[in-house]
Structure 1
Amino acid sequence: MTRVRYFAAAAEAVGADSEERNEASLVALRAAVVAAHPALADILPRCAVMIDGVRTDGDLALDDVELIDILPPFAGG
């Protein structure tokens, strides 16, 4: 199982700060979390995704991944 942590607007859309998921790839995870949490549909495409602390933009197998962070864009400075 992979722990997915949601921050800011993503956490609000999900209604939780984190959840356990078991999808095999990042593309599958993105589709599954939007299906489970439709409010993420508009937010997720703009989010940064960190996999075990490393930002990624493409697809990736999640076989040994422990932690995924979903980070919406932050405003301010």
Structure 2
Amino acid sequence: MNVRYFAAARAAAGVDEERFDLSDGATLKSLLAAILAVERPAPPAGTPPLARILSRSSFLLNEVAVRNAAAALNPDDVVDVLPPFAGG
């Protein structure tokens, strides 16, 4: 599946998007574990670690909001990581 990162998640991950090949029965929870298992350089100064950002983020599964960490994923799915946004 393809994971796309936005805003602070992009900065902390160090990439705009990346692909994960998870086994059958993968869930959002197992995808998040796989994301955190990737060795990454330290985020830029002032950017929280990716684990902290993921714990506060919203997720879209094929452009539809998903809040259930047990949601099943398929190999061709796209998951967007949307950290909290501020501003006005």
Q: Give the structure-1-normalised TM-score.
A: 0.88
**Aligned partner letter, 1:34:** L
Distance 1:47 1:37 in 2: 20
Q: Tell me what 1:35 maps to.
A: 37
Provide closer, same or farther for how the CA distance between residues 37 and 7 of structure 1 changes in structure 2, counting only shifts above 3 A. farther
Q: Which runs of 5 or more structure 1 residues have no equivalent in the other structure?
A: none
Q: Tell me what 1:51 maps to.
A: 61
**Aligned partner letter, 1:11:** R
Q: Give the structure-2-normalised TM-score.
A: 0.78
Distance 2:29 2:77 in 1: 16
**Aligned partner letter, 1:72:** P
RMSD: 1.5
**40-49 or 29-38, larger mean C-alpha shift:** 29-38
Q: Which has the higher helix share?
A: 1
Q: Which has the higher strand share?
A: 1
Q: Which has the larger radius of gyration?
A: 2
Provide closer, same or farther for how the CA distance between residues 73 and 52 of structure 1 changes in structure 2, counting only shifts above 3 A. same
Distance 1:19 1:76 in 2: 27
Distance 2:8 2:28 in 1: 20
Per-residue deviation, 1:22: 2.0
Q: Tell me what 1:3 maps to.
A: 2
**2-11 or 34-43, larger mean C-alpha shift:** 34-43
Q: Which stretches of structure 1, 4 residues or more, deviate above 3 A after TM superposition? A: none
